[in-house]
Every structure is written in structure tokens, then in C-alpha cells.
Amino acid sequence: MKEVIRGFLLFCSLVSTVSAYTLSDEQNLRTSLLTGYDKELRPGIDRAFPLQVNTSYFLFSINEFDMDTGKFTLTGFFLQQWFDERLSWDPANHNQTNSTIILQNKIWLPNLINTNPFEDIRGLGSELISVRVSSTGLCEWYALQVLEVICDPDVSKFPFDTQYCTMKFFIGGYLPYEVNVNFVTSEVFLQLYHENGVWEITASTTHTKLNLYGYEEVVVGLHLKRRTAYYTVSLILPVLAISVLLGFVFILPPESGERLGFSTTVLLSIVLYLTLIQDMLPESSEPNVSIIGYILVSYVMTGAITVIFVIFGFRIQSSCKKPVPRFIASTVKCFRRKRKGVNSAESLETKSVAIDEDDNDGVSWIEVGRFFDKMCFIVSLIQIAISNIIFMSIVYS
């Protein structure tokens, strides 16, 4: 019996909450509300107090971020709530009509005007959007908008860069003591957000501030981080591998005749990657130029110097008929590896070279060339390692 009574009471409560108003009731209500309504006057009976507008921003998607032009396009909507006493009524006088829908161009709106647009300055919403008005005068406006704003990119750490892009608005014509905008939360609502393939949102911010002209400025900011998996696999790792190859040209046998062609091919590969990266980056050099651009330029310079050293190494090998200068022979002898035993049999290469034992301390041009290749190989690897360490320390700092 108790369960039956409890079920009946629940049913009665549900029935009592169902609105039974008709089309005529809502039509009469809208006629009553809009008769004599002046949408150019802001709500608020007591003008000594500002109208409080509660707002939130819901982000749907990031559509585009053009690094060349700084065009940042995204889709979302502002949910704005305020009280308009002129749009309040007693539901009992209108057959329990608790709410209605009114097109946004028929009532006053706290229309936010974008102050950092990419092209045209315009407000929110459109003629297709309506405002839901409740009997208490509470107005709820879902201002859906595709926004195109200017965001100056900082590519100094490309492709491991982070960006901070903002959307700035103000309610035109109203000072803070007339209309006061309050964000419900200090962050953007991302429950409806669809992930972007290039950019990841690491943080967001929403706040208001006074600009230089005394108007209240509404700011919505997004902290973006580039997704680096694609660039790491297709750009960073190949460049690092090619740069390491620069040093290994010096361990190729000189008689193979492939040194010059190998070093030139590696140099052209680095130049190709430099061209590809330059196409990805904006032409503007402010605030900073990409560090990877400097690294690739250093690789190009290293490649050019490598080609010069290869040619110089060939020149050393062709100087067999000339005596080795004493200071060169002394340097080579200081860094000569110690051998376990003395080989009494001379190689065919040594026999073909005229050596003055008193002038060059037993050092031939062939040994000078090998010593030169070894030093170039070590220095090249050290230079590449230092460049890569500098690059990684900067991008992860």
C-alpha cells in the first residue's frame, strides 16, 4: 500500500510539472513582452548598478592555424546569461507558460565585438539564433560563431613549439559600470571539443581586463602544443642521420674515388631538408627565427667545409714527391699510434715514396693524409654532437 501511495504522489508531481500552455498562450505572451520593448536600451531598473552578464565559452574545434599569415580559425559558442526585467512575467497569467524563444535581433543583447579579427570586425551570432527567455527574465543566448583571429606564431622551437592564441572582445559602447561581464569559470569548456591533428590544447584561460580606453575587454586564451610525432619521424631523425654521415666520408679509402661524390650527395640532402623546413615556417622572423633553421645552416656549412677538406685531402695524397715539412712530421709523430712490434718489411706504398729519414722522421705523405682524415672525422663528429645537444637543450628548455 505504501508503494502505491508513493507511486501516486510521484505521478502527481510529474504531471504537475508538465506545461500545458498552447500556441495561442505563447503568441499572446510574446506580443505582450515585445510591445513597447526598446532593444537599444540595456536592461536594469536601477542604473546605478551595472548589468551582470555571466558568460562561458565552449570550444568545438580548431579549424586552421596558418603559420604564414597568423590566421587562427576555430568554432565554438558563447553562452551568455543575464536578467532583463522587461521580459519577465507571471506564468499564472499565461496558462503556466514558463519560457519562450525570441530571435536575437528582437531584444537587447550583450553583443561581444571581436577586437583582433583576421579580416572583418563583427559581432556574435546571426539572425538564425534565438534567445531562450524564462518567466523570471533570465535570458540565455547560445552565440555560435566561427571566429578568425590573428595569432602571431613563435616558431623559435619548431617543431617542438608551443603557441598562445587569444580572442579578444568588448561590449561596444558600454563602460564597466554599465555592463559587467563575468566568466563562470576561468577555463574554456572542452567537453564538446574535437581533437585537432596538429595542435594539442595544454591549457586555457578566460578572464576580463580593462584596456587602455577604459573599456572592459573579454579575453579567451588557448595554450597550444604541436604534436611532434610526424615531424620527429619525417624530419628530425632523417636530418640527424644525414648529418652523422658527413663525418664518415673521411673513413672511406682515398683510392676508392667515392669521397667527393659521397660528401656532395650528403650536402645536397641537407640543403633539400633545409628547403622543406623553410617552406613550413613563416617568412616573418619575429619574435625569433627557428633554431632548427640555424642548425641546418650549420650542417650546410659543415658539409661545404667537408667537401673542401676532401679536396684538400686529395691534394695531400698527390704531394708524395715533395718532402714532408718537419713541423707536420713532428705533429703526426706525436699522435702516431704505438705499435706492438716493428715491421721490418715496408709496404708497397712506402717503397714508392721517396722519404728523407733525416728530414721527416720517417713520416710519409700517405701517413699525413691518414692522420688528416682521422682528425677531420673526429672533429666532424664532435661538431655534429655539439650542434644536436644545443638543439635539444633549447627545444626542451
Residue ranges covered by each domain of the chain = 28-227, 230-337+351-395
Share of the chain above pLDDT 70, in %: 80
Per-residue pLDDT reduced to its tens digit, 158-167: 888 889 999 9
Note the pTM of the prediction, 2 decimals.
0.74
Per-residue pLDDT reduced to its tens digit, 239-252: 888 888 878 888 77
Give the pLDDT score at 19: 52
Per-residue pLDDT reduced to its tens digit, 65-122: 988 888 999 999 999 999 999 999 999 888 888 999 999 889 999 888 888 898 877 7
**Closest to 134 (Cα-Cα) out of 79, 96, 169, 163:** 96
Q: Cell 574535437 maps to which residue?
A: 194
Q: What is the 3-state secondary structure (H, E, C) of the chain?
A: CHHHHHHHHHHHHHHHHCCCCCHHHHHHHHHHHHCCCCCCCCCCCCCCCCEEEEEEEEEEEEEEEECCCCEEEEEEEEEEEEECHHHCCCHHHHCCCCEEEEEHHHCCCCCEEECCECCCCCCCCCCCCEEEEECCCEEEEEEEEEEEEECCCCCCCCCCCEEEEEEEEEECCCCCCCEEEEECCCCCECCCCCCCCCEEEEEEEEEEEECCCCCEEEEEEEEEEECCHHHHHHHHHHHHHHHHHHHHHHHCCHHHCCHHHHHHHHHHHHHHHHHHHHHHCCCCCCCCCCHHHHHHHHHHHHHHHHHHHHHHHHHHHCCCCCCCCHHHHHHHHHCCCCCCCCCCCCCHHHHCCCCCHHHHCCCCHHHHHHHHHHHHHHHHHHHHHHHHHHHHHHHCC
Give the pLDDT score at 203: 95
Q: Is the pLDDT assigned to residue 347 strictly greater than 50?
A: no
Name the residue with higher pLDDT: 26 or 349. 26
CATH 2.70.170.10, applies to 28-227: yes
Beta-carbon count within 10 A of 244 CB:
15
Name the residue with higher pLDDT: 300 or 83. 83
Give the pLDDT score at 392: 76
**Closest to 125 (Cα-Cα) out of 112, 140, 134:** 112
Q: Is the pLDDT assigned to residue 180 strictly greater than 50?
A: yes
Give the pLDDT score at 150: 92
